[in-house]
Amino acid sequence: MRQQHLIAVAAAFALFFTLPAHAQKLFTRDGVVSFDATAPDSPETIKAIAKSGTCVLDKSSGAIEMAVLIKGFIFERALMQEHFNENYLESSKYPKAVFSGKLDDPASVDLGKDGTYNAKVNGKLTMHGVTKPLNAPVAFTVKGGKVSASTKFSVALSDFNISIPSLVSDKVNKTASVNIAANLAPMK
């Protein structure tokens, strides 16, 4: 009987100390990541969207991590998607892109109160086997207890050793414009 009591106390103790940690984290598995790498004079649109980005935000520390599977990007044309995965991003070798960073001033973002909060995030983006620093603005919107986040930034393809063959260089921009939107919920 004493052993069962100790187990129950230990379980309650563990639950008590892990719940607040989870309550401080927001999470999604369906963040939307899109990019546009269309060259200015291109007759074709080079855009793709992935709707399965994973994001975790620690409200107390401001630490944030976002990951997206490269094969999750859907293009207008299947051939573009094939070239993107096989030749440019080499998704079988480098299956995901990951951003790890931190909000500059997490205390200025009150995710418990309705409103829009503009912040800056600083961190590192790893893609195609290369890690580079990335600083970007991020907007948090809180409405009725629901939190959404969005950001927009540009990525130079050459920074990540993504080379574009001269045959299609007039269609693909040297810089991709990236948009991310995520509806975050408490991590369970």
Rounded to an integer, what distance in angstroms lies between the CA atom of residue 67 and that of residue 124?
12
What pLDDT does 23 receive? 54
Q: What pLDDT sits at residue 16?
A: 38
**pLDDT at residue 89, as a whole number:** 95
Neighbours of 76 (CB within 10 A): 13
25-186 classified as CATH 3.30.450.40: no
CA nearest neighbour of 187 among 31, 59, 33, 68: 59
R_g (Cα) of the chain, nearest Å: 20
Q: Quickly list H helices, 53-95.
A: 78-83
Whole-angstrom distance, CA of residue 158 vs CA of residue 37: 13
Distance CA 168, CA 165 (A): 6
Going residue by residue through the chain (188 aa), what tens digit of pLDDT does each one get? 444 443 433 333 343 343 344 459 999 999 999 999 999 999 999 999 999 999 999 999 999 999 999 999 999 999 999 999 999 999 999 999 999 999 999 999 999 999 999 999 999 999 999 999 999 999 999 999 899 999 999 999 999 999 988 888 889 999 999 999 999 999 98
Q: What angle do CA 38, 165, 45 make, to 5 degrees?
A: 20
- pTM reported for the whole predicted model: 0.85
Element at 183 (helix H, strand E): strand 172-186
pLDDT of residue 20: 42
Domain boundaries, the chain: 25-186
How far apart, in Å, do the first and last CA atoms of the chain sit?
Answer: 31
